[in-house]
Amino acid sequence: MAALKFCANISWLFTEHPDFSQRIYAAASAGFQAVEAAWLYDSDLSELQKAKEATRVEVVLINTPPGDIKAGDLGLGAVPGRELEFRKGLDLTLKHAKALNCKRIHLMAGRIPVDAHRAAIAREMEDVFVQNLNYAAGILAKEGITGLIEPINTRITDPRYFLDSPHQAAAILEKVGKSNIQLQMDIFHWQIMDGNLTKNMHKYFPIIGHVQIAQVPGRNEPDSDGELCYRYLLNTLEKLGYQGYIGCEYKPLEEELGW
């Protein structure tokens, strides 16, 4: 079995450095050979390229833009009436992905509109998401890039996020039917959403394109005190033959404690 590979999520780690290019250097100094990030778009792209080339760190994953965060956006992929904005955001993400040789893009679904009820709008949002994912699949396939969709728990993290279970995500992927659109498994979210981690890891492993880890319930280091035994979970991934990177997307405890 190949050894598991880990990457630093520099949206969560090394945040004492204000710029993402600086965080790439910090991650490399800490021993990471790869990084991932949510939104790099406020950083100078040429500086990001210089940091990547100087450190030889691989950029594994970036997200599509969230939209207007101050207005309550967190992705646009499934939001009705925002299709043009989603496509423009995808163009921006693709520009960065190509410049940084990043081969995975998280296509963020977005939130249930504030004035809508989940049950009433779910079908429309799913239809929009499927259409946008099909569009993205064609664009990304030309560049050899994989698109990912990530369910986020609505119990703790984001009550209005549209994509809120691995089962819902898998059903959407089946409707899309494109091999370069896959499932992103954040074990923190999956535990809170559904539990049954062993069963779900085995069930959905064929469509999992990326993995992220953090402890439950505090989203701290995987080896900190909490509900999850990562020795077992990582061993399960290894036995399943997972060969991709595992993103370290957690809040360092020392930052919370003010150390």
- Which residues are annotated as catalytic? 150, 249
Nearest alpha carbon to residue 228 among 219, 239, 237? 219
Closest Cα to residue 7, out of 209, 247, 251, 223?
Answer: 247
Instruction: Tell me: cis bond preceding 222? Omega within 30 of 0 counts.
Output: no
Token pair recorded at residue 236: 């399960």
Q: What is the largest CA-CA distance in the chain?
A: 51
- CB 196 within 8 Å of CB 228: no
- Bridge partners of 212, per DSSP, are 186, 247
Q: Which of 66, 60, 70, 142 is nearest to 97 (CA)?
A: 60
